[in-house]
């Protein structure tokens, strides 16, 4: 049936992605990672928009071909509305509006953060809410009580850098490249997490996080070493830093789950791809008889499957948006009481 087929479009940062869903079933998805940013050590917003412009058409054609469909089969367009880079969001949103208008189908503006949270349930007909979500990406580090797909409560958040940002900044300090998270993850496997004890920060009476002190501490540690030391001990330093981040994220999440009586914990966002964090959360939740939802690795970092899936949820609740919807670079989850 035409109306149940959703095309999802994601262009919030440096991945150009498209996906096709039939009902809650993922048919196909493509994520094109922009390589142009690698040599700059971070995402260059202007280049990101230009690359989206170049890649989005071919990516959509590709996903339709692989789904053995044409545009005529599409019954609705789901597109990331925010948060993200303004220019990048605009490319996806304009493309989506053009398609919705041309095909005369509804458009669904999707909050990228909701996409990350519910990426755990891609392909599921029912969402096992309520749960406690650890949202850890390049821009966010939040603990969220998720009552259902509309009702969220913020439990704690970073007071400075996001966890992914800390990975990226420390990777830059160590001179190992961009994006830092996956590189530190890989390097850490060859190193010892006990090599050096970096500080773990916490705040009394709060579930908030802080990572900028840790980053500064790594910087000071590096500056004190003799030439050649860092290069010789790169895996050990990476593993020691990663262990500090994992200790803080997992410790705080488990404490909140205990205090608030949550038996279900959901990991979300790019940092949820971290192998040590996943391993630790499996151990801790198993020890306490809690259920852990770890997104499939393909759906941790930015992708359009999570956007199309949220589009499906919006389509069944009949909440289509108008063609006037704007890109909202600082779009937040709307937190209730
Ligand atoms: O969710 P995401 O793809 O984009 C945002 O919405 O921000 O997250 C990107 C972040 C980057 O900071 C990247 O370094 C981090 O996720 N990341 C990781 C890993 N894979 C991606 N951090 C730690 N370990 C990983 N394996
Ligand atoms: Zn993201």
Domain 2-120+300-316 fold: Nucleotidyltransferase; domain 5 (3.30.420)
Instruction: Measure 297 CA to ligand 2 centroid, in angstroms.
Output: 13
Strands of the 291-293 sheet, one edge to the other: 151-157, 141-148, 131-136, 264-268, 291-293
Percent residues over pLDDT 90 in the chain: 92
- The DSSP secondary structure of 96-107, one letter per residue, reads HHHHHHHHT--E
The chain-wide mean pLDDT, for the chain, equals 95
pLDDT at 2: 55
pLDDT of 149 > 90? The answer is: no
Instruction: Measure 224 CA to ligand 2 centroid, in angstroms.
Output: 35
Handedness of CA 336, 79, 304, 122 (dihedral sign): positive
Where are the alpha helices (H) located in the chain, listed in sequence order? 45-66, 86-103, 112-118, 163-174, 180-188, 212-223, 229-232, 234-260, 275-287, 305-316
Q: Does 129-294 match 2-120+300-316 at the fold level?
A: yes
Percent residues over pLDDT 70 in the chain: 99
Domain extents for the chain? 2-120+300-316, 129-294
Please tell me if the CB atom of residue 270 comes closer than 6 angstroms to any atom of ligand 1: yes
pLDDT at 1: 45
Mean pLDDT of 245-270: 98
CA 196 – CA 102 distance, rounded (Å): 59
Mean pLDDT of 62-71: 98
184 near 165, Cβ under 8 Å?
no
CA 149 – CA 151 distance, rounded (Å): 6
Q: Report residue 303 CA to chain centroid gap.
A: 9
pLDDT at 335: 86
Mean pLDDT of 232-245: 98
Please tell me if the CB atom of residue 302 comes closer than 6 angstroms to any atom of ligand 1: yes
- Name the residue among 53, 54, 11, 7 with its Cα closest to residue 31: 11
pLDDT band at 326 (very low <50, low <70, confident <90, very high): very high
Q: What is the pTM of this model?
A: 0.95
Mean pLDDT of 316-326: 94
What is the residue with the minimal CA distance to atom 22 of ligand 1?
Answer: 181
Mean pLDDT of 317-337: 91
- Name the residue among 99, 28, 9 with its Cα closest to residue 67: 28
Nearest atom of ligand 1 to the alpha carbon of 273:
26
* Best CATH choice for the domain 129-294 from the list 1.20.1730.10, 1.20.1630.10, 3.30.420.40, 3.40.190.10: 3.30.420.40
pLDDT at 123: 86
For 72, the 3-state DSSP assignment is helix
> Which pair of structure tokens corresponds to residue 332?
């937040």
Question: Per-residue pLDDT tens for 262-318?
Answer: 999 999 999 999 999 999 999 999 999 999 999 999 999 999 999 999 999 999 988
């Amino acid at each position: 049936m035409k109306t149940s087929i959703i095309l999802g479009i994601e262009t919030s940062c440096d991945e150009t992605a498209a996906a096709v869903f039939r009902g809650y079933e993922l048919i196909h998805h493509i994520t094109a990672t922009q390589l142009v940013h690698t040599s700059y050590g971070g995402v260059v917003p202007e280049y990101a928009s230009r690359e989206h412009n170049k890649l989005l058409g071919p990516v959509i054609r590709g996903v339709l071909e692989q789904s053995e469909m044409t545009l005529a089969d599409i019954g609705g367009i789901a597109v990331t509305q925010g948060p993200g880079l303004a220019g990048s969001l605009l490319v996806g949103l304009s493309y989506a509006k053009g398609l919705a208008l041309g095909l005369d189908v509804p458009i669904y503006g999707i909050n990228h953060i909701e996409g990350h949270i519910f990426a755990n349930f891609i392909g599921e007909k029912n969402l096992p809410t309520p749960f406690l979500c650890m949202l850890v990406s390049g821009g966010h580090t939040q603990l969220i009580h998720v009552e259902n797909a509309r009702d969220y409560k913020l439990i704690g958040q970073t007071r400075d850098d996001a966890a992914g940002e800390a990975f990226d900044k420390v990777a830059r300090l160590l001179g190992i490249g961009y994006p830092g998270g996956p590189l530190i993850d890989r390097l850490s496997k060859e190193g010892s997490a006990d090599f050096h004890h970096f500080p773990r920060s916490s705040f009394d009476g709060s579930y908030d996080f802080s990572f900028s002190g840790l980053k500064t501490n790594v910087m000071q540690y590096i500056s004190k070493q003799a030439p050649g030391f860092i290069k010789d001990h790169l895996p050990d330093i990476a593993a020691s830093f990663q262990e500090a981040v994992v200790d803080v994220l997992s410790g705080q999440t488990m404490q909140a789950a205990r205090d608030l009586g949550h038996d279900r914990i959901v990991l979300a966002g790019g940092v949820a791809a971290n192998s040590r964090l996943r391993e630790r959360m499996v151990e801790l939740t198993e020890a306490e008889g809690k259920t852990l939802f770890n997104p499939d690795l393909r759906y941790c970092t930015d992708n359009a499957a999570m956007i199309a899936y949220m589009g499906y949820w919006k389509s069944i609740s009949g909440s289509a948006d108008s063609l006037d919807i704007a890109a909202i670079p600082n779009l937040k989850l709307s937190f209730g009481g």
